[in-house]
Amino acid sequence: MPSIIDVKHVNKAFGGLTVIDDCSISVERGSITGLIGPNGAGKSTLFNIIAGALPLDSGQVLLDGEDITNLPANQLFHKGLLRTFQIAHEFSQLTALENLMMVPPNQLGESLFSTWFKPGQVRARETEVRQRALEVIDFVGLNHVRNELAGNLSGGQKKLLELGRTMMTDARVVLLDEIAAGVNRTLLGELITNIERLNREMGYTFLVIEHDMDMIARLCDPVIVLAQGRVMVEGSIEEIQNNPEVIEAYFGAGAA
């Protein structure tokens, strides 16, 4: 399959410290690609560069062949590239359902003119958005807490809600940032199932940073390993787990 994300010869330094060093990766369309590596490997920095949260120093990032180098996150959102966060970013004083309804851009109700002069169209659009939100909240298994304030949800439920928010847009690529962090095993199973369904049924492409190797093993193929800001190796999880260089990078010489 052709790639949907291409990172080409990217460099990033903070002061005199090089964090990303001539790094190139490709993410195939329709894949669930894992991005792993030891602490300090540059995973989060590369992730933030792709997501538009950090400018790169040199190199190029392409989305489906389009140059998106250094575009901010809000522009990437409209191009179908979204991210979730290790710590969920919910609107705590809105209900779970209202959190989903906030996502679609350019809603008519945001315009004072439309509110005054096109109330019928505003109501129709709100009904459409609400119906979509109800479908999404059922999909992610949160229907029983749809009217609960999002700030009262558990950590795992907030992660499910974040995943649901990606479904309220025309997402093409979703960057998942340690989505398993702080999630109990039951809800983690639900998260994994939903990610697999979004990939299989709706064609979402995922790039996943994760320390939970069981989750990576279940979800991701291929897996890219970063070390010292460069790609060390790429392959199946079995190839990665049996690679002596990877074992040394994670555990030190002699760990095998």
pLDDT in tens, 78-88: 899 998 865 56
CATH 3.40.50.300 residue ranges in the chain?
3-89+171-251
Element (H, E) at 26: strand 17-28
Instruction: Return the closest-CA partner of residue 179 out of 141, 152, 216.
Output: 216
> Average of pLDDT values for 115-131?
72
User: Could you tell me which residues come within 8 angstroms of residue 94 by beta carbon, excluding any fewer than 6 positions away?
Assistant: 102, 149, 150
**CA separation for the pair 177, 51 (Å, rounded):** 11
Tens-place pLDDT, residues 214-232: 899 999 999 999 999 999 9
What does CATH list as the number for 3-89+171-251? 3.40.50.300
**CA separation for the pair 60, 36 (Å, rounded):** 21
Q: Which percentage of the chain shows pLDDT scores above 70? A: 88
Tell me the pLDDT band of 235, cut-offs 50, 70 and 90: very high
**CA separation for the pair 89, 151 (Å, rounded):** 10
Q: What is the pTM of this model?
A: 0.84
State both tokens at 67. Answer: 């140059």
Three-state SS for 160? helix
